[in-house]
Homo-oligomer: A and B are copies of this chain.
Amino acid sequence: MQISKRIGSMGEPALLKYYPLVDEAKKKGKKFYYLNIGQPDIETPQEFMSTVRNQGAAGKVLSYAEPEGVPELRTEASKYFRQFGLDYSPEEILITNGGSEALLFTFLTIGNPGDEILTPEPLYSIYKEIAKASSLEMKGIMTYAKDGFSLPSEEEIEKLITPKTKALLITNPNNPTGKVYDRDEIERLKRIALKYDLYFIADEVYRDFMYDGLEYVSPGQDPELKQNTIIVDSVSKRYSACGARIGFIMSDNDEFIYEIRKLCQMRLAVSSVDQMAAAKLFKLDTGFFDKILREYEGRRDTVYEKLGHRDDIIAKKPTGAFYYVLKLPVIDAEKFIRWMITEFGKDGESVVLTPANDFYLDPENGKDEVRLAYVLNQKDLARAADVLLAGIDEYKKEHPENIKEEFKK
């Protein structure tokens, strides 16, 4: 018996890798601030929970939902997305088991084994695994902390196109960098998508998490990109409902929708209860998110006030999602994270971070970077940042061998 090459080549997410160490330290009484996972702490709207309650009271037979999703959810989603200039009919919207199934189905549909998808790097680490499961190759458009992770010029991006390139993929706002792509960057990618006849996939699960009044720009708003664009979304982040596995695929490309529907039929249905409850979320007053947005913007600022002005950290202020990629004075961030968990404590407290090399295609990149998720209230977040800074200062003294030359003094 064998294990297939595609699955054998997959990795385990770095997110999970430190939990045994954390558990051990917790047993010894250490308290941790979890800055490593993108699990919002905001309350799930009561409308979800009360619909779940009513579902439980109502149904007699919990039947299969339609393979494409229940009509009520598709209709409500269609109305909801129109306010962002995303004009998709219910028939152009498919419901999936979370955004991750939306991406898996999309990858399986748009490329033959060996075909390539081009995406800004650092990239959401799960893309690498979905690509392996689909026998596709991820190729990176490298972006840098010092530039706030902006895209390079059109010419630089074009150099990366090969005959095997089938799609451009952006996470916008970006996980892990928090970068929001502006109109000029989207236009660059648009010209390339049209010139080389590529799908333009926009993973917009963080759409609502945009700060400083930035303009939302999506290929889904552009009539010239109607055939190219595939929008992926999810209720997880906006509605703080990660445990409801409800994602979306939207496209005006009839052939693509016809073909990807076969994958929906193959797996029969998405959870009926989750779908009915999610439909109610889309009926919420659009003002519901205003308070949450202000809270997240405040969190971003709290982190920036603490970490943004250090000489030994590169931390440009991100404008979206709820992440920072921080460039630290350390040579190997994995070692530093491990030390923070097992050795360090400030008044019995420490923090858990994610090593950023998991967000690069070559794990030799991003070795001096970490991802920080600001999913704690501002008081805890300020405290966590202080603990992190104290950790960096102590680590410099105790482990100079893992500190870059210029920060050793």
- A residues adjacent to B (C-beta < 8 A): 1-8, 10-13, 16, 39-44, 48-57, 59-65, 67, 97-98, 100-101, 104, 108-113, 115, 126, 129-130, 133, 135, 166, 197-199, 227-228, 240-245, 253, 255-256, 259-263, 265-274, 277
- A53 to chain B: which residues have CB within 8 Å? 52-53, 56-57
Query: Contact: B110 with A2, CB < 8 Å?
Result: yes
- A59 to chain B: which residues have CB within 8 Å? 44, 49, 243
Query: Contact: A129 with B265, CB < 8 Å?
Result: yes
14 contacts between A and B (CB under 8 A): A4-B110, A4-B115, A7-B108, A41-B61, A44-B61, A49-B57, A49-B62, A53-B53, A62-B244, A101-B267, A104-B267, A126-B268, A245-B270, A271-B274
Bound: A65/B241 CA distance, A: 11
Query: Contact: A1 with B243, CB < 8 Å?
Result: no
Given A7-B108, A108-B4, A274-B273, A243 and B41 touching (CB < 8 A)? no
Bound: A99/B267 CA distance, A: 8
- A135 to nearest B CB, angstroms? 7
Query: Contact: A262 with B49, CB < 8 Å?
Result: no
- Residue in contact with A7 in the complex, picked from B56, B241, B262, B270, CB distance below 8 Å: B262
Residue of B nearest to A99 (CB): B268
Given A56-B56, A271-B243, A272-B243, A3 and B110 touching (CB < 8 A)? yes
- Residue in contact with A100 in the complex, picked from B5, B60, B199, B267, CB distance below 8 Å: B267
Query: Contact: A133 with B110, CB < 8 Å?
Result: no
- A256 to chain B: which residues have CB within 8 Å? 1, 3
- A273 to chain B: which residues have CB within 8 Å? 52, 243-244, 271, 273-274, 277
Bound: A367/B73 CA distance, A: 38
